[in-house]
């Protein structure tokens, strides 16, 4: 005897969100997704990894190895549909869309980007947190220090994460994209990045907390979340407050959590 359990409305909305994101990606690419191998993936993204290294001090080899590991060499659904190459999850400061898949828990929310380059840039910004600060004091070609430091700082739960990164780096000779820096350049770069990290510290309590991304219902409705106002919702979806009020026949700017608002003309 087989019993079927209906999906909860929340799960259904997550699946609907995923389908919409996949449909948008299919339309944008016309279904022609690049099937990467290690060589073509590295060639495609090495320059942005080098640029990030020179700006922030993250070894290019580490950035590429993390991307290869987290994205299945760019071929995972998360990379293909959400352009998310580092498995970065939605946090409370994330205002974009979410793609849902089981990870540490069921239906974890992952960030959706417009293109892979946004994902690589966000990866660098994501690491500018207090718990990763000691890593930016390492030499920018110290890939082993970064690999072990990322695990120690809590980037990944896999106990073999450092060895996995180091194995990828050495297998594909990714250290060829790393470069040392002089003592003076290192001090300047450290001061700049650590100053940014210190500015972020007061906001980190909310940033570190994972959450669900805004959920669209049937493609044209947004569910009001905690902290939303008509103003920030209108800016998020390219409308004016007056547009939003007219679309939803609102007589004032009062909205409540869980309310569905039409966000497309």
Segment 208-244, tens digit of pLDDT: 566 666 555 556 788 776 667 787 787 777 788 888 8
Q: What is the pTM (predicted TM-score) of this model?
A: 0.74
Q: What is the mean pLDDT of each run of 10 residues along the chain (265 residues)?
A: 46 77 89 92 97 94 97 95 94 86 84 95 93 92 95 89 96 96 92 90 63 62 74 77 88 80 82
- For residue 46, what are its two tokens? 């090495």
Rounded Cα–Cα distance for residues 235 and 129 (Å): 27
Task: Write down the residue that tokens 């259904």 correspond to.
Answer: 12
Sheet holding 216-217, edge to edge: 216-217, 221-223, 260-262
Say if residues 64 and 46 touch (Cβ distance below 8 Å): yes
Q: At what angle do helices 38-56 and 60-71 cross, to 10 degrees?
A: 130
Say if residues 199 and 129 touch (Cβ distance below 8 Å): no
Task: Write down the residue that tokens 């939605």 correspond to.
Answer: 90
pLDDT in tens, 148-157: 999 999 888 8
């Amino acid at each position: 005897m087989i019993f079927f359990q209906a999906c909860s409305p929340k799960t259904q909305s997550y699946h609907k969100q995923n389908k919409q994101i996949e449909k948008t990606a299919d339309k944008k690419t016309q279904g022609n997704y690049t099937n990467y191998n290690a060589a073509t993936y590295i060639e495609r993204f090495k320059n942005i990894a080098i640029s990030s290294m020179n700006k922030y001090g993250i070894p290019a080899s580490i950035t590429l190895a993390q991307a290869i590991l987290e994205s299945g060499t760019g071929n995972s659904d998360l990379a293909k549909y959400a352009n998310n190459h580092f498995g970065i999850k939605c946090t409370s400061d994330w205002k974009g869309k979410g793609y849902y898949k089981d990870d540490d828990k069921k239906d974890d929310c992952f960030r959706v980007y417009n293109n892979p380059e946004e994902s690589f840039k966000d990866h660098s910004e994501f690491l500018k947190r207090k718990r990763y600060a000691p890593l930016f004091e390492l030499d920018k070609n110290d890939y082993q220090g970064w690999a072990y430091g990322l695990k120690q700082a809590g980037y990944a739960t896999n106990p073999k994460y450092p060895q996995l990164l180091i194995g990828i780096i050495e297998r594909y000779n990714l250290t060829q994209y790393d470069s040392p820096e002089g003592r003076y350049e290192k001090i300047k770069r450290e001061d700049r990045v650590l100053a940014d990290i210190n500015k972020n510290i007061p906001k980190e309590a909310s940033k570190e907390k994972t959450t669900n991304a805004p959920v669209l219902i049937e493609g044209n409705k947004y569910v009001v979340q905690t902290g939303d106002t008509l103003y920030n919702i209108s800016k998020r979806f390219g409308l004016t407050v007056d547009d939003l009020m007219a679309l939803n026949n609102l007589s004032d700017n009062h909205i409540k959590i869980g309310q569905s608002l039409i966000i497309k003309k």
